[in-house]
Amino acid sequence: MSVDLHSARTADSERRPQQRYPRALFSVPVTLRHMEVGGIRSAGGISLDISEGGLAAMMRGGLRAGELVEIDVSIAGCALTAVAIVRYTSDLRSGFEFVGLTPEERQQIANATGHA
Protein backbone atom coordinates (compact mmCIF):
# COMPACT_ATOMS: atom_id res chain seq x y z
CA MET A 1 0.00 0.00 0.00
CA SER A 2 1.40 3.42 -0.90
CA VAL A 3 0.39 6.80 0.38
CA ASP A 4 0.69 9.97 -1.67
CA LEU A 5 2.25 12.30 0.91
CA HIS A 6 1.86 15.35 -1.32
CA SER A 7 -1.90 14.78 -1.57
CA ALA A 8 -2.15 14.17 2.18
CA ARG A 9 -0.29 17.42 2.93
CA THR A 10 -2.37 19.35 0.40
CA ALA A 11 -5.64 18.02 1.85
CA ASP A 12 -4.47 18.86 5.39
CA SER A 13 -3.42 22.39 4.40
CA GLU A 14 -6.75 22.99 2.67
CA ARG A 15 -8.59 22.22 5.92
CA ARG A 16 -6.46 24.55 8.04
CA PRO A 17 -6.46 28.32 7.57
CA GLN A 18 -3.12 29.92 6.70
CA GLN A 19 -1.01 30.84 9.71
CA ARG A 20 -0.29 34.57 9.99
CA TYR A 21 2.63 34.12 12.37
CA PRO A 22 5.41 31.53 12.46
CA ARG A 23 4.92 28.88 15.13
CA ALA A 24 7.59 27.62 17.52
CA LEU A 25 7.67 24.44 19.56
CA PHE A 26 6.81 25.55 23.06
CA SER A 27 6.02 23.13 25.88
CA VAL A 28 4.95 24.65 29.20
CA PRO A 29 2.02 24.08 31.56
CA VAL A 30 -1.10 26.10 30.72
CA THR A 31 -4.29 26.76 32.65
CA LEU A 32 -7.53 27.35 30.80
CA ARG A 33 -10.82 28.73 32.10
CA HIS A 34 -14.13 28.52 30.27
CA MET A 35 -17.84 28.68 30.97
CA GLU A 36 -19.84 25.53 31.46
CA VAL A 37 -23.30 24.88 32.78
CA GLY A 38 -23.06 25.66 36.47
CA GLY A 39 -20.09 28.02 36.29
CA ILE A 40 -16.51 28.48 35.25
CA ARG A 41 -14.37 25.38 34.71
CA SER A 42 -10.59 25.45 35.11
CA ALA A 43 -8.42 22.84 33.40
CA GLY A 44 -4.71 22.26 33.09
CA GLY A 45 -2.79 21.15 30.06
CA ILE A 46 0.50 21.48 28.24
CA SER A 47 1.27 23.74 25.30
CA LEU A 48 2.63 22.21 22.10
CA ASP A 49 3.47 25.27 20.03
CA ILE A 50 2.92 29.01 20.15
CA SER A 51 2.93 32.06 17.91
CA GLU A 52 1.92 35.68 18.23
CA GLY A 53 -1.50 34.61 16.98
CA GLY A 54 -2.24 31.65 19.23
CA LEU A 55 -1.17 28.32 20.60
CA ALA A 56 -1.89 24.62 20.43
CA ALA A 57 -2.15 22.55 23.59
CA MET A 58 -3.04 19.13 24.89
CA MET A 59 -6.10 19.76 27.05
CA ARG A 60 -8.78 17.56 28.55
CA GLY A 61 -12.11 17.63 26.70
CA GLY A 62 -15.14 19.78 27.22
CA LEU A 63 -14.11 22.48 24.74
CA ARG A 64 -16.14 23.54 21.72
CA ALA A 65 -14.86 25.24 18.58
CA GLY A 66 -15.85 28.91 18.61
CA GLU A 67 -16.01 29.25 22.39
CA LEU A 68 -14.08 31.99 24.22
CA VAL A 69 -11.59 30.90 26.87
CA GLU A 70 -8.99 32.50 29.10
CA ILE A 71 -5.50 30.99 29.05
CA ASP A 72 -2.66 31.44 31.55
CA VAL A 73 0.80 30.65 30.19
CA SER A 74 4.32 31.52 31.30
CA ILE A 75 6.49 32.98 28.54
CA ALA A 76 10.17 33.59 29.28
CA GLY A 77 9.40 33.65 33.00
CA CYS A 78 6.59 36.19 32.63
CA ALA A 79 2.95 35.28 33.21
CA LEU A 80 0.57 36.00 30.34
CA THR A 81 -3.20 35.77 30.63
CA ALA A 82 -4.88 35.88 27.24
CA VAL A 83 -8.40 35.59 25.91
CA ALA A 84 -8.63 33.18 22.98
CA ILE A 85 -11.12 31.55 20.64
CA VAL A 86 -11.07 27.75 20.39
CA ARG A 87 -10.41 27.21 16.68
CA TYR A 88 -10.36 23.40 16.74
CA THR A 89 -10.45 20.64 19.31
CA SER A 90 -9.99 16.88 19.32
CA ASP A 91 -9.20 14.16 21.83
CA LEU A 92 -5.49 14.91 21.42
CA ARG A 93 -5.10 18.65 20.97
CA SER A 94 -6.85 21.98 20.74
CA GLY A 95 -5.93 25.15 18.88
CA PHE A 96 -6.52 28.64 20.24
CA GLU A 97 -6.40 32.03 18.52
CA PHE A 98 -5.47 34.93 20.80
CA VAL A 99 -7.90 37.84 20.88
CA GLY A 100 -6.94 41.39 21.88
CA LEU A 101 -3.27 40.94 22.74
CA THR A 102 -1.40 44.20 23.13
CA PRO A 103 1.57 44.92 20.85
CA GLU A 104 3.81 44.43 23.91
CA GLU A 105 2.33 40.97 24.58
CA ARG A 106 2.80 39.96 20.93
CA GLN A 107 6.40 41.20 21.10
CA GLN A 108 6.96 39.20 24.30
CA ILE A 109 5.87 36.04 22.45
CA ALA A 110 7.99 36.90 19.37
CA ASN A 111 11.06 37.48 21.57
CA ALA A 112 10.55 34.22 23.49
CA THR A 113 10.16 32.17 20.29
CA GLY A 114 13.04 33.80 18.41
CA HIS A 115 10.76 35.39 15.80
CA ALA A 116 11.41 39.02 16.76
pLDDT band at 114 (very low <50, low <70, confident <90, very high): confident
Per-chain mean pLDDT for the chain: 84
pLDDT in tens, 21-64: 889 999 999 999 998 888 999 999 999 999 999 999 999 777 99
pLDDT in tens, 76-95: 889 999 999 999 999 889 99
Q: Which long-range contacts (CB under 8 A, 24 or more apart) does 56-60 make?
A: 56/23, 56/93, 56/94, 56/95, 56/96, 57/30, 57/32, 57/93, 57/94, 57/96, 58/92, 58/93, 58/94, 59/30, 59/32, 59/89, 59/93, 59/94
SS3 at position 77: coil
Average pLDDT over residues 2-30: 63
Locate the domains of the chain by residue range: 20-113
Q: Are strands 94-99 and 54-59 parallel, antiparallel or unpaired?
A: antiparallel
Q: Residues with Cβ < 8 Å from 4, sequence gap 6 or more?
A: none
CA 24, 57, 51, 75 dihedral sign is negative
Chain length of the chain: 116
Say what the pTM is: 0.80
Average pLDDT over residues 99-111: 94
Looking at 3.50.50.60, 3.30.420.40, 2.40.10.220, 3.90.1150.220, the CATH number of the domain 20-113 comes to 2.40.10.220
